[in-house]
Amino acid sequence: MKAWLRSALIVLASCVAAAPPPALAHGDASWIEQNPKTRSCCGPHDCRMMAPGEVIEEGRGWTVVATGEHVEGITTRLRDSIDGNFWICRNEGPGGPGTGELRCLLVPRVGL
């Protein structure tokens, strides 16, 4: 290998190694992490948007159909969703981030 090419590769490798890790994008859920009222709910891989029918209103609260988890009343686990969608945020679990215990259920605001 030519000396100049070897030198260029060494410089390139050292730049890549010294670069800070990339920031994790939060995609559609970025508003959750940025909103002071919901930021405690969410890490980079903790939240996902719920499809219609995955959450139902039941009694005085909301139930996650697949798991039977029910959230009602004044609790830090029940928050307003400002984008019109249901979102669920979970702690890290056996399957990795967003697979553990329910941290927050974000419910669309009614009448706004």
Q: Is 31 exposed, middle or buried (CB count within 10 Å of its CB: 0-12, 13-18, 19+)? A: middle
Residue 87 has pLDDT above 90, yes or no: yes
Could you read off the pLDDT of 20-66 as tens digits, one per residue?
A: 333 334 577 888 888 888 888 877 688 999 998 999 999 999 999 99
Task: Indicate whether this model's pTM tops 0.85.
Answer: no
Token output for 82 = 């400002």
